[in-house]
Chain A
Amino acid sequence: MVWRLLGVLPQFLSSIRLVVYQMLTMGVRSLPLIILTSVFTGAVSAWQAAYQFQNFVPMRYLGTAVGKAVVIELAPVLTALVVAGRVGASIAAELGTMRVTEQIDALEVMGIDPVRYLVMPRVVSGAVMLPVLVLFSDFIAIMGALVVAVVMVHLPATTFLNGVKLFFHMSDMYAGLFKAAIFGIIISLIGCYQGFQTRGGAEGVGRSTTGAVVIASVLILISDYLIATALFRV
């Protein structure tokens, strides 16, 4: 499937309408959940960092620690896991249903390549939308942390935000977004693959859907580690 996908990738301009449609559904479907998880991820990481810092590290570094953790790891990985559960599952369920009701066969016999028509728009959209969602998540998580820092830790907002800016490297941001793009591709590809190889009615669709979420989540965590060791030298 990956080979056929690479073969049809150049046709993506002519299918731009399908790609845009997938991007919108992907974004709209995931955003509420991502806002929710990001607020609390930011909040809890600020709180935990403050707990670890007390009496050892000055609180003005709170923003630094939280900002780094969010931008490099927490936002990309948690967003990807949420999207895997939300979008990866729905891709597998949708394509799985199309498979068992012969809709994919119907595309084939109409001379429409299902890899171009169904898989490519989803994969391109995953690669583009995940970084966008992660940017949202970065911002919202840091806002969540800011609220905790100000209200609970009684840190002035400017101190916290200066901490975030301190040692902030654009390269960290890029690394996070690069990871997000890889995760987006993983989620869509696994969802499509699971959908395409669905067999056996509604039960089969259920199996594919669960499989898509589990496999994508595991691959996200493994590839996160691999990318980390490749990008960040200790």
Chain B
Amino acid sequence: MIEIHGLTKSFERRVVLDRVDLDIAQGETLVVIGRSGCGKSVLLKHVLGLMEPDAGSVTIDGKRLDQLDRAQLYQLRMRCGVLFQGGALFDSMTVAENVGLGLSENTTKSKSEISDIVAERLAWVGLEGIGHRSTSELSGGMRKRAALARAIAMDPEIVLYDEPTTGLDPITAEGINDLIVNLRERLKVTAIAVTHDMNSAFKIGDRIAMLHNGQIIFDGSVDQARTSTDPILQQFIVGATTGPLEPL
């Protein structure tokens, strides 16, 4: 479904991704973990063609992104939903307009159909009744959830989550985990989730991949990750300050 092959990217000669290979099967959720600044968000940006790789390729449903023209790329993107790390809510719009923008621009649905879908998606993330508010009035956690509602508004087949539970209290975070699991199980969404939150990673993932120094140093099922003896992975999962990784 999504094939990442030999993906390499550097910024000003600093290599951030170094020949990354990852395959995500249809209906599968892959969780990418790794330390802050290791290139997880950069990886996600390549999957939808927001950044161009220095080398390597991303293929979705057999189509290589770099061989698509703009119209085909937009066509493909409409089947995807993305939760950006910072939310990326449009600050000139209300929450409801944010969530409904994709529907009003890309579909022929009527205003009332759109507002029904928007209300439903806001309820899914626990934000019912705040559609009329401006995005600048929201707390950090509310912004994240509003952005998640926007990411899933168009019933995407593929969803990319960049730190879906960061900045949420443990109970809300658990609710979001459930939502992501639901999307995977009921709607058969294919997903890549980036997170530091190991509790969330084990819950929402079918598979876990760890990015370290630009390379995938572990790629396996959730159970394999739990029982792996890889010292870097184990240190990351436990959050220990002693081990191969320097804490700071």
Q: Name A residues whose Cβ lies closer than 8 Å to a Cβ of B.
A: 4, 94, 97-98, 101-103, 105-106, 108-113, 117
A50 CB to closest chain B CB (Å) equals 48
Q: Which residues of chain B from 56 to 103 have a CB within 8 Å of any chain A CB?
A: 70, 74-75, 77-78, 80, 82, 84, 86, 88-92, 101-102
Measured CB to CB, the nearest residue on chain B to A102 is B88
- List the interface of chain B (C-beta within 8 A of A): 45, 48, 50, 70, 74-75, 77-78, 80, 82, 84, 86, 88-92, 101-102, 105-106, 154
A102 and B86 within 8 A (CB)? yes
Residue from A94, A106, A112, A113 in contact with B88 in the complex, judged by beta carbons closer than 8 Å: A106
Question: Which residues from A are CB-within-8-Å of B86?
Answer: 101-102
Q: A111-B75, A111-B78 are in contact. Are A105 and B50 (CB under 8 A)?
A: yes
Question: Which among A103, A110, A112 is the interface contact of B91 at CB below 8 angstroms?
Answer: A103
Q: In the complex, are the beta carbons of A112 and B70 less than 8 A apart?
A: no
The answer, among B70, B75, B92, B105, for a CB contact under 8 Å with A110, is B105
Chain B residues within an 8 Å CB radius of A109: 48, 50, 77, 80, 82
**Choice from B48, B75, B80, B102 contacting A112 with Cβ under 8 Å:** B102
Whether the Cβ atoms of B101 and A105 lie closer than 8 Å is: no
Main DSSP-derived SS at the A contact region: helix
Question: A94 contacts which chain B residues (CB < 8 A)?
Answer: 92
Interface centre among A98, A112, A113, A117 (most CB of B within 10 A): A112
Q: Given A103-B88, A103-B91, do A108 and B106 touch, yes or no (CB 8 Å)?
A: no
CB distance from B68 to the nearest CB of A (A): 13
- Does the CB pair A106–B90 fall under 8 Å? yes
Listed A/B pairs (15) with beta-carbon separation below 8 Å: A101-B88, A102-B84, A103-B88, A103-B89, A103-B91, A105-B84, A106-B84, A109-B77, A109-B80, A110-B78, A110-B101, A111-B105, A113-B70, A113-B74, A117-B105
A94 to B80, CA, bound (A): 26
Q: Which residues of B have CB within 8 Å of A111?
A: 74-75, 77-78, 102, 105-106
CB–CB A108/B88 < 8 A: no
- Known contacts A111-B75, A113-B70, A113-B74; A106 and B82 CB within 8 A of each other: yes
> In the complex, which residue of chain B has the Cβ closest to the Cβ of A104?
B88
Residues of chain B contacted by A98 (CB below 8 angstroms): 90
**Which of A102, A108, A117 lies at the interface centre, i.e. has the most chain B CB atoms within 10 A of its CB?**
A102
- Provide the bound-state CA to CA distance between A111 and B154, in Å: 11
Instruction: Give the nearest-CB partner of B77 in chain A.
Output: A111
Residues of B within 8 A of A110 (CB): 77-78, 101-102, 105-106, 154
Q: What is the CA–CA distance of A101 and B92 in the complex, to the nearest angstrom?
A: 13
Given contacts A109-B82, A111-B74, 18 further A-B contacts (CB under 8 A): A4-B70, A101-B88, A102-B86, A103-B88, A103-B90, A103-B91, A105-B45, A106-B84, A106-B88, A106-B90, A110-B77, A110-B78, A110-B106, A110-B154, A111-B77, A111-B106, A112-B102, A117-B105
